[in-house]
Structure 1
Amino acid sequence: MLILPRRWVWVSMIERKIWSSSAVSLSMVFVRITCCHFAA
């Protein structure tokens, strides 16, 4: 039976949050660039 340490679980959760937040920020930047491009 394999038992994962609690720290590893926390690290994976934090990594997932960081990845999701970075993806959201990247998409927002992309939307802003396209909006500015079409508005200009």
Structure 2
Amino acid sequence: MFRMFLQRSEIVSMSRQRIICNFINRNIINETGIYHERWLTLHSE
């Protein structure tokens, strides 16, 4: 019983970490995408 609860909470924490990682990765991609757009507009003039 207790072991099953532990496994369940481990799975929940793993999925939470994955969600956080995906969120961070998306933010990094968005930041670099914005940065590349700015860089292109700066250097195209």
Q: Give runs of ≥4 in structure 1 deviating > 3 Å.
A: none
Identity of aligned residues (%): 5
Residue 6 in structure 1 maps to residue 16 in structure 2: no
Which ranges in structure 1 are unaligned for 5 or more consecutive residues? none
Normalising by structure 2, report the TM-score: 0.79
RMSD of the alignment, in Å?
Answer: 1.4
- Report 1:12-23 matches (<5 A): 12-23=15-26
- For the pair shown, the structure with the greater C-alpha radius of gyration is 2
Normalising by structure 1, report the TM-score: 0.88
How many residue pairs are counted as aligned between the two chains? 38
SS for the counterpart of 2:13 is helix
Which ranges in structure 2 are unaligned for 5 or more consecutive residues? none
Partner of 1:32: 35
